[in-house]
């Protein structure tokens, strides 16, 4: 029986870190017929809204009660557990998952430690200059895309945030701004830049250092790259500079020093003008995992509770621990996709969207945060947004993880 589609407005998309919240989801027969305003990446993320709804323990379908008891037993009996915050979960689910890790004295980590750790550590050493996307949209008159064309992995960034929209202090939108494209090796910036600069991969940090020297009134050094002097002048003359780069792996050539060097450049620009440095981040509420870990433990990633309190172990994140065989149970909360480690089927519990697609001992399918369940997610600029649930799904992840936390706590209380 086909009905007229129902429309759910103001839906937040977690397909990438842009977190566009203007999506209109057309729902027909409990399925997503269309995600209007969404980019191709967003449409693919919403899909038709169908997800598996199973619960399995070692392949057999069981009740939620049996699966949670089995999971509580396995995790409680393990000597050292890894709780991994994967993508497509709400902050509410993440909060419950960190509680599980605390009770188990486990290690808790998320996707950031294996993707953007260099930027997080650089900010902790040196500080950072940031801005929310609304400031970049309304104020930035100089947009520098560093080795990054947002069109590829953040398709609506240019039209929603910068450089295209008109803003309070950039009334003519794109024409009010100077668009700079820095190409780092083969990683190209936008095609229609006003100023273009090419940097060979092996001279990237040197070029940033030369820019810093030039802005501080020193020379660009010997044999400066063509165009560097123009860029230095453009930055110095701008009212508000936004330096934007894709912080996620796979876009720019690997360069562990990039995040810190760009941050240093941004910090120094503020001596004479205003500037921010904006790492582009992928979707699925990764920033929520960092925020929740930070407020509950004090650290944004790689937290070890084994001594009964949080310890920061940025060198011993999930990937390193699993590779070293240092954990004997793993709880993945979130979608079991793109994990930085191989799942050891016998010792792994997955609670999340399409959990049962993973080869693991215990799998509990939940909805996808933002498609089947509401809650809160963070945009790439640490701005929190509400999630809607345009279509019904299986059990809510936050409820499942809270239930699991209670069962583990009850087991521990009985023993003590």
Partner 1 sequence: MTDRLRITGGAVYDPANGVDGDVRDVCIENGRIVASLPNDSPRLDAHGMVVMPGGIDIHAHIAGSSVNHARRVLSDERTADPAAAPDLLDAVGRSGTGGTVPSTFTTGYRYAGLGYTTVFDAAVAPVSARDTHAQLDDTPIIDAGFFVLMGNDAYLLQQIAAGERDRARDYAAWLLGATGAYAIKLVNPGGVELWKRNVRAVKSIDDANGLSGATPRAIMETLADAANALGLPHPVHIHCNNLGMPGNVATTLDSMRALSGRRAHFTHLQFHAYAGGADKPWASGAKELIAYVNAHTEVTADVGQVMLGHATTVTADGAVEYLLHASSGRRWVNVDIELETGCGIVPYEYRDAAAVASLQWVVGLELFLLSDDPWRVVLSTDHPNGGVFTSYPELIRLLMDKAYRDERLKGVNQKLLAGTALADGLSREYTLREIAIITRAGPARQLGLTSKGHLAPGADADITVYARDVNVATMFAMPRYVIKSGTLVVEEGQLRRAPATHRLHVRPQYDAAVMRDVSSWFDRYGTIALANYPVAPPRDAPVPVGASA
**x-or-dash string of contact with partner 1, 328-347, rule CB under 8 A:** --------------------
What's 400's DSSP letter? H
Question: Is position 6 an interface residue for partner 1 (rule: CB under 8 A)?
Answer: no
CA 275 to the chain's CA centroid: 23
Per the DSSP assignment, residues forming a β-bridge with 120 are none
Question: Is position 73 an interface residue for partner 1 (rule: CB under 8 A)?
Answer: no
Question: Is position 286 an interface residue for partner 1 (rule: CB under 8 A)?
Answer: no
Q: Which of 274, 319, 337, 359 binds partner 1 (CB under 8 A)?
A: 274
Q: Which two tokens stand for residue 247?
A: 């912080």
Listed residue (17, 20, 15, 11) closest to 382, CA to CA? 17
Segment contacting partner 1 (CB under 8 A): 106-114, 297-305, 332-340, 396-404? 297-305
Which of 266, 394 has the CB closer to partner 1?
A: 266
Residue that is written with structure tokens 């930027």 in the block:
119
Question: Is position 308 an interface residue for partner 1 (rule: CB under 8 A)?
Answer: yes
Question: Is position 237 an interface residue for partner 1 (rule: CB under 8 A)?
Answer: no
The span from the CA of 164 to the CA of 131, in Å, is: 18
Which of 209, 312 has the CB closer to partner 1?
A: 312
Q: Which of 76, 88, 109, 135 binds partner 1 (CB under 8 A)?
A: 135
Question: Is position 384 an interface residue for partner 1 (rule: CB under 8 A)?
Answer: yes
Q: Which of 21, 88, 149, 246 binds partner 1 (CB under 8 A)?
A: 21
DSSP, collapsed to helix, strand or coil, labels residue 41 as: helix
Q: How far is the CB of 104 from partner 1 (least distance, A)?
A: 11
Question: Is position 127 an interface residue for partner 1 (rule: CB under 8 A)?
Answer: yes
Question: Is position 10 an interface residue for partner 1 (rule: CB under 8 A)?
Answer: yes
Site size with partner 1, rule: CB under 8 A: 66
Question: Is position 378 an interface residue for partner 1 (rule: CB under 8 A)?
Answer: yes
Which of 21, 76 has the CB closer to partner 1?
A: 21
Question: Is position 175 an interface residue for partner 1 (rule: CB under 8 A)?
Answer: no
Q: Which of 323, 326, 342, 383 binds partner 1 (CB under 8 A)?
A: 383
Interaction with partner 1 in 209-228: which residues (CB under 8 A)? none
Report residue 332: phi and psi, to 5°: -95, 125
Q: Are 383 and 24 in contact (CB under 8 A)?
A: no
Listed residue (388, 385, 384, 353) closest to 374, CA to CA? 388
Which of 43, 138 has the CB closer to partner 1?
A: 138
Listed residue (4, 2, 44) closest to 23, CA to CA? 44
Q: Which two tokens stand for residue 312?
A: 């920061």
Question: Is position 30 an interface residue for partner 1 (rule: CB under 8 A)?
Answer: no
Which of 336, 370 has the CB closer to partner 1?
A: 370
Contacts of 333 (CB under 8 A, 6+ apart): 83, 84, 85, 86, 89, 93, 94, 97, 351, 352, 397, 401
Which of 226, 271 has the CB closer to partner 1?
A: 271
The span from the CA of 163 to the CA of 128, in Å, is: 22
Burial class (CB in 10 A: 0-12, 13-18, 19+), 69: middle
- Alpha helices in 276-371, H assignment, sequence order: 286-297, 318-323
Q: Which of 43, 73, 176, 273 binds partner 1 (CB under 8 A)?
A: 273
Question: Is position 164 an interface residue for partner 1 (rule: CB under 8 A)?
Answer: no
What does the DSSP assignment read for 361-398?
Answer: SEEEEEPPBTTTB-EEEE-TTS-EEEE---S--SS-HH
Q: How far is the CB of 294 from partner 1 (least distance, A)?
A: 5
Q: Are 401 and 94 in contact (CB under 8 A)?
A: no
Q: Which of 84, 154, 299, 341 binds partner 1 (CB under 8 A)?
A: 299
- Footprint of partner 1 (CB under 8 A): 9-10, 12, 21-22, 91, 95, 99, 102-103, 120, 123-135, 137-139, 160-161, 166-169, 239-240, 267, 270-271, 273-274, 276, 290-291, 294-300, 305, 307-312, 376, 378, 382-386, 405, 409
């Amino acid at each position: 029986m086909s009905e007229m589609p129902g429309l759910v407005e103001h839906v937040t998309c977690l397909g990438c870190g842009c977190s566009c919240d203007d999506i209109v989801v057309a729902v027909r027969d409990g399925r997503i017929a269309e995600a209007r305003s969404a980019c191709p990446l967003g449409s693919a993320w919403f899909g038709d809204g169908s997800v598996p709804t199973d619960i399995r323990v070692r392949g057999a379908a069981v009740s939620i009660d049996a699966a949670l008891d089995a999971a509580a037993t396995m995790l409680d009996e393990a000597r050292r557990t890894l709780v991994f915050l994967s993508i497509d979960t709400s902050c509410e689910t993440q909060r419950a998952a960190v509680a599980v890790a605390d009770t188990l004295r486990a290690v808790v980590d998320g996707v950031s430690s294996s993707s953007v750790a260099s930027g997080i550590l650089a900010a902790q050493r040196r500080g950072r200059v940031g801005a929310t996307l609304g400031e970049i949209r309304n104020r930035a008159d100089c947009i520098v895309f560093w080795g990054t064309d947002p069109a590829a992995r953040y398709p609506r960034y240019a039209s929603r945030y910068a450089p295209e929209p008109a803003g309070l202090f950039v009334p003519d939108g794109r024409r009010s701004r100077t668009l700079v494209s820095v190409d780092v090796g083969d990683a190209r910036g936008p095609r229609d830049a006003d100023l273009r600069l090419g940097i060979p991969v092996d001279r990237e940090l040197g070029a940033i250092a030369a820019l810093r020297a030039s802005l501080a009134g020193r020379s660009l050094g010997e044999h400066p790259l063509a165009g560097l002097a123009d860029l230095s002048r453009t930055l110095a003359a701008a009212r508000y500079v936004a330096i934007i780069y894709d912080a996620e792996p796979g876009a720019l050539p690997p360069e562990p020093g990039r995040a810190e060097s760009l941050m240093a450049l941004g910090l120094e620009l503020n001596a004479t003008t205003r500037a921010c440095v904006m790492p582009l981040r992928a979707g699925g509420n990764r920033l929520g995992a960092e925020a929740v870990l930070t407020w509950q433990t004090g650290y944004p990633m790689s937290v070890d509770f084994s001594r009964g309190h949080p310890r920061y172990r940025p060198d011993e994140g999930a990937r390193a621990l699993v590779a070293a065989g240092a954990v004997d149970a793993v709880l993945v909360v979130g979608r079991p996709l793109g994990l930085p480690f191989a799942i050891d089927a016998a010792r792994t519990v997955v609670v999340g969207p399409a959990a049962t697609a993973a080869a693991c001992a215990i799998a509990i399918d939940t909805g996808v945060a933002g498609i089947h369940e509401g809650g809160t997610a963070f945009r790439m600029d640490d701005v929190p947004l509400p999630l809607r649930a345009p279509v019904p799904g299986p059990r809510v992840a936050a409820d499942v993880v809270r239930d699991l936390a209670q069962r583990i706590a009850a087991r521990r209380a009985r023993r003590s």
